Amino acid sequence: MTVRTRFAPSPTGYLHIGGVRTALFNWLFARGHGGQFILRIDDTDQQRNVDEALQPILNGFRWLGIDWDEGPEVDGPHAPYYQSQRADRYQQAVEQLLACGAAYYDYATPEEIQAQREAAQAEKRSFSYNRQWLAETDADRARFEAEGRTAVVRLKMPRAGQLVLDDLVRGEVTFEWAREQDHVIQRADGSCLYHLATVVDDRAFEISHVIRAEEHLSNTPRQVFIADALGYPRPAFAHLPYVAEPGSRNKLSKRKLDKYLKHADFAKIARHGQAIADRLGLATSADTFNPVIVDFYQQVGYLPEAVLNYLVLLGWSLDDRTEDFSRDQMVELFSLERVNKAPASFDPAKLTAFQQRAMDRMESKPKVAFVLPFLQQAGRVSTPPPCEVGSQLSGILAAAGERLTVAGDILDYDDFFTSDDALVYDEKAFEKRLRKPPEAVGLLQKFRQCLADATAFDVETLDQLLHDFVETEGIKIGQIIHALRVAVTGKAVGFGVFDTLALLGRERCLSRIDQALRLAEAVDTD
């Protein structure tokens, strides 16, 4: 049997972390068995669909490297891959279900169904529709329609017995047929619902394994009933544990951002991302930019392999010690047998740790290529970049080391790419380090001359130069080094001062110190 799996997102919003995890497990299972992964768009609910939401979903998968063998923008033998374009197939299935007695026309109004539901609740019994407005004959249909009623098509579910299902994650699962409702499969306007469409399409696309989130487990009886009634072979089912909120067992939701921001690690990752977005001039909102949405991680500069590595461990593990996997290792080692049944809590701090390790492992050349677009997007480096930018960036990345967690963090060092006369000073730092200390301007003037006369301008020479200056002047190093940093970078913090001076070069350092001195002296004069 050829393994064929699918993921069927609805174009109702940006790609959710939990949805990507489900897609990843489908992709890994298919790739590991030499099969195919299908992307199908579940757009049967036209009222909730957002046309512009589809492209971010496709872009998100491509960014992560989750490719599909058939689906949107990829030709295949089972097209079309949008459920909204497959209505004729669903209509055929409805007619077949009606013909074999597995479905019926129902003319009850929503108010009448609700009245029966409330009566059952008052009598403390399970609700089961009594099929009072079931139309068994053409005469029944004509009579109901003469009353002005319109019909939906409902499944005629069994009222006794059990469905026993062997789930590849959860084991044997038993459902009582009596607890199932006569679910609507076709609305009065003729449009078909998801439960019918997904069964018809899974058969048409030859899906062998339905691997999906556990909230769909309750849908399985009606879908199995439809498949059996239509004479379809049943696919294998595997229901994955849901991704839970940070520090909770509640399901992670992209609509609860305010709640999650009360969690320290979640708030930290959100603030970090927002700071980068602000510097890039990105328009953000809770609907389009938050750490529950995959697009967030692409925009702020996470590595796709780090995100994938973290996601694969949300509900699956190889053993109790191995955490770092390459993409090829994930494909080779993944199995449904090792998927957990319990919910997996989303841990922003752990995701950041995966990202940091992935960044630390990157060689200099690919890391330069990774961070450069963020400087270009922020307008700090032209496109194409000047020839010297590559070597300068390489030096900055080496000096920054672990301070650079995501690619967007390179914007913390954009002062290297700012013209000297456009350098912006942190006002608090400038006041504290250059204006308030009475000796700051004089010391900086003297050390400026030392820099001008230095025989070399490398880290070792500059280090020795400053220490000799401190000894000669009889001062503490803090009295000059902080003022020096603010003067050449405009900021109070950063990587090593000597690395900073060497990377800027002699002429730019002198130019910036002169500018800082003019600004400080102008204030003193006032």
Q: How far apart are CA 484 and CA 486, in angstroms?
A: 6
Give the span between the Cα atoms of 120 and 163, in whole angstroms.
Answer: 24
Residue 421, classified by CB atoms within 10 Å of its CB into exposed (0-12), middle (13-18) or buried (19+), is exposed
Q: Is the dihedral of CA 249, 326, 28, 331 positive or negative?
A: negative
Residue 47 structure tokens: 């009222």
Contact 301, 373 (CB under 8 A): no
Residue 254 annotated among the catalytic residues of the structure:
yes
**Cis link prior to 221 (omega < 30° from 0)?**
no
Q: 3-state secondary structure string, 218-259? A: HHHHHHHHHHHHCCCCCCEEEEECCEECCCCCCECCCCCHHH
Measured distance CA(258)–CA(275) in Å, rounded: 17
Cis, peptide link before residue 80, omega less than 30° from 0 = yes
CA angle 351, 353, 358 (to 5 degrees): 100
Q: Which of 228, 169, 235, 223 has its CA nearest to residue 199?
A: 223
Other C-beta atoms lying within 10 Å of the C-beta of residue 466: 20
Q: CA angle, 259 as apex, 258 and 261 as ends, to 5°? A: 65
CA distance 277 to 303: 17
The tokens describing 509, both together, are 């350092």
From 254, 262, 350, 491, the catalytic residue: 254
Euclidean distance between CA atoms 337 and 424, whole angstroms = 57
Q: How far apart are CA 359 and CA 292, in angstroms?
A: 21
Length reported for the chain: 526
Residue corresponding to tokens 């599909």: 68
Planar angle of CA 345, 350, 244, nearest 5 degrees:
10
Determine contact, residues 25/239, Cβ cutoff 8 Å.
no
Sign of CA dihedral 142, 147, 153, 159: negative
Active site residues: 254
